[in-house]
Structures are given as structure tokens and as C-alpha cells.
A and B are shown apart, each in its own frame.
Chain A
Amino acid sequence: MQDIFQLAYWIPLLPLLGSLLNGLGRRYMSRSMAGWIGSLSVLGSFVLSVLVFLHVKSGHSEVIHYFDFIKVGTLTIPFSFQLDALSSLFLLIITGVGFLIHVYSTAYMHEEDPDQFARYFSYLNLFVFSMLLLVLGSNYVILFIGWEGVGLCSYLLIGYWFKNPAYTAAANKAFIMNRIGDLAFLVALFWIITKSGVVGFQDFFSFVQQHQFTERFTATDITVITLLFFIGATGKSAQLPLYTWLPDAMAGPTPVSALIHAATMVTAGIYLIARSNFLYSLAPHTLHLISWVGLLTALLAASIALAQNDIKKVLAYSTVSQLGFMFLALGTGAYAAAVFHVMTHAFFKALLFLGSGSVIHAMGGEQDIRKMGGLSTKLRITYFTFLIGCIAIAGIPPFSGFFSKDAILLSVFLHSPLQYGLALFAALLTAFYMFRLLFLTFAGQFRGTEEQKHHLHESPWAMTLPLLVLAVLSVIGGWVGIPEVLLPNAEPLIQFLSPVIPVVPHAVSHETEYILMATSTVLVLLMVLAAWWRYRHYQPGVSTSPFTRLLENKWYVDEIYDKLIVQPLSWMAAWLRSVAEAKVIDGFVNGVGRAVQYSARQLRFVQSGQVGLYVLLMVLSMAVMLFIQFFIRK
């Protein structure tokens, strides 16, 4: 078993090879071949990840050095992987959920031409490779390589159907908004290099430990770096103010939304901060800001999700909101709880997205839930698993979401009662909009066309099997983090993560914990009832209030950004191009040129025209040469 770490490089390498095979050989691939290559390469990584995880679980961790990527002066950036509790947990999530989604895709994308099908799997494998690189890297530079790689794959997959201009616009928006965060990430990285001269996590943390709050590493440095990393995280993990790309990213195929824009890539920001928890614990102001940004994002996105009618858009805003919960946890110092929620969220949100894909598949591409309804009888497996996903995300015990959300709420409660109240409110909104979605889609009467009704069918096994597996995980996935009050000596996840994330014992009585759990559970159940009451016999065409319209239009945030930032920039660019460049700078240059030409015309002894002037200049330069020859010699 000792040698399993030596094979770790195969974990990202297998998907990379799969990507290259599918990408370069796409013209010669059949669909099944491309699907097999794509899925098996991720399955291989998953098996290795399980072995690595078990090895880490038995108490091992290691940094494996492959080669020096960049060496300049005293700065060395090694290409090396860090295998420890945090990375191995993410490995399991990425490859496990990733494999299921690859399998699902083989059926979901079956109408694509074979070469496009292979292109799809090539991108999807490339994404898995980049994401694995992100979590495996033992320093911030390798992490950044993965960070940019997943951004690239996200861009490629959102714009996968490149004929549709709206989709490619969404792809560009995603990449560019991410780049804003990336700039902050990079500046933080340069700051670290300038101050400490190292980039490795371990090296940097020991540097900080040694020099914290001294001349070499002041409190300002800590605040600046943590803030900048957080801004980077708001881009990748879709938080205020950089979240608007994620709902648009639903333009990509649904399995992509499940894998990239719900389960894995968008949690990279949480990974970054959890990885740097040592640094963040020294920056109380940054943490305070993170908790508020996370909380406000959770509330804002949940409110928008209440009024969306596109099945994927509801889930997208739900993802933004859940990510907000994770940042709230980070902000209150509950790093392990955030990671816990990353895991359970990966299960139930991937399940919900894949379930929505199954619905869209059955409805012939329809995504508007107002035109659905009554699907529970026709799509039994989809319905059943979707229901489990809803229960899990709403936070009803003993489903997985309950435990992770409970851990977050407890930490927030200890941190600030006001924030707890707001967070609980956001959690209740979650329950409401998720069950609204469930009832609108599956309950009541079918509201689509006759043709759609005729075609309704359950999806093939390649799609339902991943749903079932994820449903099981959504039920039991939370049991690895059952709090101590319910099961003494439990919380193995927190114990497992303790080498990376130190355990902070919290002084809270069991009674308080029981009360908190009971309150949230009862209130959530009430919200489910309310949703059932309101939407069980939904009929479209109910008049909407101004507030609902405000929510439907997403608080007009996109429009505000467009008016305040995009358009002024665009005007400025046009002005620079047509006035500053053409008239001012070039005008000046040409003016000087004309003046010279004018005087040259006065002086001309040779023919008119350009060649003449050229000769004149030659003569001039020769004269200068002669001048050197004769005069300087003396």
C-alpha cells in the first residue's frame, strides 16, 4: 500500500489521456467508443483515488515532487502534488461524481454527431484533469494552473453548442467574470512571492508562523492576501458581486451543469480558503467580510430562485445560494463544516441537476416548469430520486443536507445571532423554492402539449443508474458527519480533516444544539407544507405582483452591471479608438509629419515623390557618417 502514492500522478493523467484520445481522434470515434474512453478513464482515476483516500485515512500524507516547473533566483516553483486529507476527499468527490456524470452523459448526449460527441467527452475529461490538478497541487501556482484549466473547460462546455450566439455569449461572460477574480488571485500570489519567496502551502504556512505580525509579514499583508484570495474565490464560486455568470452558464449541456457548475468547479473557491485556513484564522476582518458576503449571496440567490420558471435556473440560483452557505461557514471559521457541505452538496445538487436533465430529456428539450406538472407517474425513478434530492437540500433529517447545514448553522449561531436568523431564513427559502420546483414539475396536471405528453418516458438506465447512486449518497452521505450530540464519539469527517483543518472545540450545551436542530427541522417542514399548499394545483397565468416581477428579473443585477460597467467601458473604448487614437495621438504625429514633408518640399533638389524623400534621408544619414569620420577623429 505504501506505493499507492507513487501512482498518484495517474489520477490526473488518465483523464488527460482520455481527453487527448477523444479530442485528436474524434473523427474516427464511434459514440460508444468515445463514451467508454471518457468514462473508463475517470473510473480509473476514481479507483486510484479510493486507494489514495484509504492510505491517507490510515494516517499517511505526503508531498510528491515531480520536477521544478519554474526556478528564478531563490524562487522555486515545483510541480508537485500534496496528498492529504483535504485533497484526497476532493479527489473522491471529483472522480466519483465525475464518473457518474460521464456515464449519464453517454445517454444524454446521444443525439450528437459522433465527432461532436467525442469533442464533448474530450472537454469533459479535460475538465476532470484540470480539477484534479487544482486539488492535487502542493503550491498556489499548481492550484492556479488547475484553477485556470477548469475555467477554460467551463468556457468550452458552456459554449459547446457554438452555433447559438446566446450560449457563446454566456461562455465568454463566464470566462471574463472569472478572470476578474483570477486577477485578484494572481496579485495575492505575487504578494506572497514578494513577501515570502515561497509558494508551497507548507513552506508558506511555516513562513507565516515564523514571521506573522512582524516587519516581514505584517497584519496588512495578511489582510491583503486573504482578501485578494477571497475576491478570486467570489469569481470561481459565484459569490457577490461576481455571481451572475453562473445562471447564464446553464447554457451548457445539463450534465456539465451538474458536474462543473454545481458539484465541483464552483467549490474551488471553498477549497482555496479551506486550504489556506491557517492564514484566514489570522485575518478576523476578512473572515467577517466573507461571512457577510456569503450570507447576502445566500439570501439574494434564494430570493431569486423563488420566482424562476426555468428548471435549470432554479437549480443554478440554488447553487449560488448553497455556495453562499459554504462561505458563511468559512467566514465563521467552520472550515470543516464548509468542506462537509461541499461534499453533501455535490451529491444532492448533482442528483438534482441530472434529474432535471432526465426531465428535460423526457420533455423534448422543454425547460419551463410552468409547462410541466404531473410527471411523477411517468418518470417514477426520476421523480423518486428528485424527491430525495429535495429533502436532502432542504435539510430534513436524516438526509445528508441536514447534517452539513446543521453544522453550518450551529457555527453561525455561536458567531452572531443576527447572522443565524438570516441564515435560517435563507435555509427556509431553500426548502420553499425546492419544493415549489418539485410540485410544479411532478405534481398536479400535465400542462405541456399533447405531443410531449405522448412522448413522456423514463430515461435509459445509463441515466437512471447514476440518479439512483446519487440518491443513496444523498441519503447517507451526511452520516460521516453526525454531530456528537446525536452520536457520541462521532464526527469522523472532522477527525479525518483535522491534520489540515485543526478542530476547534465549541463550548455549547447539548440542549442548545437540540433546540437549534428542532427549530430548523420544524420550520423547514412547515415551509414544505406551505409549498405543497400553494403549488399542488398550480395553474399558470396567475397575476404576478411587482415584487415577484423584481425577483423574476433577478433584481435587475445584470442590467445594472451592463449600464454601469459594460456600456461605459464600451463607449470609452469606442471613444479611445475614434478620437484619442485617430485624432489626438495620430493626428499629432501626422501633423508633425506634414510639417516635415512641407519643409522637405521647400528643400527638395531631387524629384518629388516618396522615393525622393527616401534618398534624401539616405544622403542625410551618409552625411552624418561622414561627419563622424572627419570631425570626431580630431
Chain B
Amino acid sequence: MKKLLTIMFVLLLTVSFAWAKGDQEVSDTESTGVVATEWEIPFLNCLTGPIASIGEYLQWGAEYAAEQINAAGGISGVPVKIVRVDTGMSPEKGTVEMSKLVADALVVMGPVPEPVIMAAVPIAVDEGLYSFTATTSFEYAAEYFPWAISWFSPTDEKLPPIVTAWAEKVEAKKVVQFVENYGAWPGMARAHVIGLEKAGVTVLEDVEVPTDAVSLGPLIVKALAQNPDAIVFSCNAEKVAKIIIELKNRGWEDMNKMLVFSSADDAALYTTGGDKINGVMIYNYNDPNLDTDRWNDFRQAFKDDHEGIEPFSLSPNYYDAVYMIKRAIEETGVTGDPKKLAEERILIRDFCNDVKNFEGLQYDWSNKGGYPADKPLFLFEIQGGEKVLIAKIIPE
């Protein structure tokens, strides 16, 4: 039996080395200008499992951008194709999928879920491949700079001003915050506190929200017992909606005096909350009611393809990513020649990390060392499932 095991082991290794050899083919085309016949951009996305619908919206954005670009003549005259790659929520699957791409891809978009980013991006970094992690918090992407890009600036730089603006607007005096200990959320909660203190607000003791809380009554009593006059929510969307409903049942009237953070701005907030969250304030990075031709066109196309559902707040991110890749390729003269792969990957990386005046779907921005320096934040009031713009803040 021992021998059998040894034989199996040796066999496995032999097979793996044989496979490895097969990979190392290099084409020998002479390089003059663009040699690629199609730009293939893989998008590691979460297309299956619990958050598949969100992944699908992101995918739609990327593919819509590619469609537009191709209709207008492609990138450097060559069409672009977004390659669907599914990682689900599984870090293990993410490693395998990313490792399939590192040999040939010019650049990758994604991954989307944080555990998958943590598992897969190190592989790309190792092989000198640049990842567009365009939906995650700064803190995750920053670990892999300069080989990953963030769509957001550091949490404690960007969030305080918008929270200050809210607190001053609703004249909050004593604020309690619901905080869930998940991913980057505690960091966001700390940034909220900076903003609140700047507005001269008394910040009461946090109410910690257990990730798998079934009933929220005890947390609500803990919050109300401190006599707050305003509330900030840094927890999961469904729980935010449930807490607000319960507070309303208990007679909370001033809905403006509740602020929801951007990570809870997803469908679960509106499906669970319905009309009962009318009047609640929320901040985020995009304005759904922006009135520009480009945005209106995107919004209409999204609605047409999704039975009238509005694009959600992260919808533009991978649309913009595709356009940023286009600009990088065109302005740095990337050829797509496999022989120059390593240097062209770096060209794209360095261009995007410090891109100036990039024309995003909603607004222009510039990057500084891998993250945006001047992206605006928007404060909204929720009315009938829609977000009505109250204020726009551009950090200095």
C-alpha cells in the first residue's frame, strides 16, 4: 500500500511537470506598432453563488464599455473583448483562475469579493500582472500597490468631510453608531467618528452589530438607552433596513437624522426597507440622477437590459476600468506583442496609477500613486427607493 501511494505521488508530479512544459510557447512575430488582433481583457468576477446578481451588473458595465469602444473603432484600431472568468466567492477557485491568466494577460480586471482578492492578487503581483480591483476598499488594494489600483481614496481621508456635512446639515448633537465588524467597515466607522467630531458632535458608545444577529431588538435598546438624537449606520444593508423599521415602530420621527454608509447602498436596503426608509440620508460615490448625455445613455441601456432596474452604485466602476485601459494602451503605445508583455504591463500600470484627468462616466478624476486624489462624494436623501441629491463634497 505504501508503494501504491508513492507511485501515485510520482505520477502526479510527472504529469504536472509535463503540463508545465507545454505552456512555454512564445510567438515570434516582428513588432511594429500594434500586433494584437484583439485585446482580450479577462474579468475575474463573482458570477455564481449568493452575490451573483451584483457580479452580473458589474459584468454588464464592462461589456457595455467594450461594445461602445468597438463601435467607435476599438482600442488603437483593434477591437476589445471582455473575457468572463468566474471565481464565485471562493478564494481557492480564485487562485486557480488567476493562475490561468498570469502567463498571457496584458492586464486583468477584478477579482470582486475581498477573500478572492486576497487569494488571487498575490499571484498576479508575483508574475508582474496589474489588477484592476475597482470595487473594493482602498485598504485591500493598497496592500498590492503598485500592482493593483484602487477606485477609492484612503477611508479616513475621504469619509470625514461628508459625515461632517451631514451632521451640520441635520444639526446632530449626540450621535450613536451601529458598527458591524466585517472587512473594512470598522475602519469606515472610525473615519465617520473623525467627521462627527469635526462637526462638534458628541459621539456615544458604538453599538456593535453581530454579523449573524437574528433579532436586532437588544441592539436598538442599547442605542436608544444612550438618548441619541442622530444615528450613523456602518453595517450590512439588510440589518440597516431592519433597524430603521424597528426604530420607526418605536416612534423615531426625524428620518433625516439617520445616515447610512456607502457599503449599505445596495438592493437589500431598498427591498427590505421599502417606503419605510424614506427620508433617511445616505452617502456614496455616484449620482444616479446626474444629467449628462453619457450617463443618461448608460442608465437607459442598463434599465433596458434589466427590466427597468436602475444601475446600482458600483455599476460604473468596471465600465470606467475598461475606458482607463483603453487610454493607457493608446497613450503609452502598447502593441500587444507577447514578447514585450512584461514591459507593456508596466507601461499600463504606471500610466493608470497616475492617470491625469481621466474622463469617468460620472466625472473626471486624477490618480496619485494608485488611487484617486479628487473624487467627489455625494449625500442623498432616500425617497421612494430613489436617491435625491442633497450635497456634493470634493475633498481638498
Mutual binders A and B: no
